[in-house]
Amino acid sequence: MMRKVFATSFAIIPLVSATTCPAAPTPTPNPEGCTAKLTTSCAGFSCQTGWHIRSNPESIATVSNVGCCLQDVTGKCSGNTNTAGVYTHFTCGAGHKLKVLSATTAGTTAAACCDDITGMCTGNKDGTGDVTCTGTTVNRGVAVSGTTTAACCREPCSRHTCDAAQGWTADTAKSAVLAATNAACCASITCCGNADSSLDRTSRCPATKVFIGGTAMRTRSVSNTPDDRCCTLKVTGKCSGNSLSSDNFVCPSGKSNKGAITGTTEAVCCQDNCVGFSCPAATHILIQNPENRVTPDQASCCTTIVTGKCSGNTNSAQDFACPAGKSNNGFITGAAEAACCTNIVNRCTGNLDSTQNVNCASHCHNSLGDCRPDPDKASNSYTAANKCARCCYSAVPAGSSAATTNAALSALVLAGVLSVLGF
């Protein structure tokens, strides 16, 4: 029997926990790059009979049958292809498996394509050598080699008791995993975001400590208690910098807090600043953030009024406004377009000549998805060779094979890791 197996290109997308902790930062995606579409490519090329189109034909510039196509493979035990690029292989019966070199072995029968399965925990030819597990243990399956219960049988995680004293809690998603260890069967107790919220420490630190904010899913250490790992000593009695901001001393207008020094009174905690200082109105104005200057005099508190510049004037309303497609020349003397403005060229967007704006969807491509303009790169300059990388990012469409197979692939990776570890 020949079975069809569709060849698919997958992208493993890191799994993100659905649970977050207070003040945890939002992760920023790192999109894959885009490349320029070729003016001529294999996209849409018609292959000769007995050939099929190569993967990602839009990225291949050599437009010919040999350049665009691969010859169909037929008559092999595995790795056969047809004109649709669909792979087929011979399906061996129970107790048998494809030969190691099946892709290069000619044949369409069990005798030609298959070997007996032997030495495995189960699934051996005619059941000879299959290991029978006892009690509540479960056989690890045909993919695991072994001939003894020690090698082939494991308790499922559903029967394992997670050790809370060492920082572990039950994880129902792993109940079918065949293992008997905390690492394989359990979830690590964290400072916050646990499925069992009673394990969270966000509001359960001792009176002398406060929860460590901004640390998402901080794992509880085996050697430390939850309070050691998740809480820090409470700071009190300071002018500022106390664990609770409500404990910081509030200085009156015209005075600034001296910072994290011991004190709880105005005399100890406060010093004069520039708030309310009167600068010479004709030539100077009060500096920004006057509360940060602690010497109330003109040199510390005032800045000279700037006028007559293309931009950077003290009063921003006096900055020259360049028309669309032109950029301001900055802090130079001027008050007219000729002096203050320069044509925008070869930028991702906003060019004076709009035909120079990069159309990511039309000009660029990526094998995983469509290319879209990156708002963070709008002001980037580009050349013909790098415009897609400089201006665009690729987006994997929702529901695509790359997006929808993420969970399944991650499960396979986990299963592989557990197998290597001997679980």
Q: What pLDDT score does 201 carry?
A: 76
pLDDT of residue 30: 38
Contact 215, 205 (CB under 8 A): no
Q: Around Cβ 392, how many Cβ atoms within 10 Å?
A: 28
Position 78 scores a pLDDT of 92
Residue with tokens 């044949």: 107
Q: Are 77 and 98 in contact (CB under 8 A)?
A: yes
pLDDT value, residue 84:
63
Residue with tokens 């963070």: 376
List, for the chain, all residue ranges whose pLDDT scores fall below the cut of 50.
Answer: 1-20, 23-31, 215-217, 398-423
pTM: 0.41
Give pLDDT, residue 395: 72
Burial readout 64-97 (b: 16 or more C-beta within 10 A, e: otherwise): eeeebbeebbeebbbebbeeeeebbbbebeebbb
* C-beta of residue 257 within 8 angstroms of C-beta of residue 239: yes
Give the per-residue pLDDT at 132: 96
User: How many of the other CB atoms lie within 10 Å of CB of 370?
Assistant: 15
What pLDDT was estimated at residue 9?
33
Q: Which amino acid type is present at position 34?
A: C
- The C-alpha atoms of residue 21 and residue 192 are separated, in whole angstroms, by 6
pLDDT at residue 26 in the model: 41
In order of 157, 221, 367, 419, the CA distances from 186 in angstroms are 8, 15, 38, 17
pLDDT number for residue 354: 93
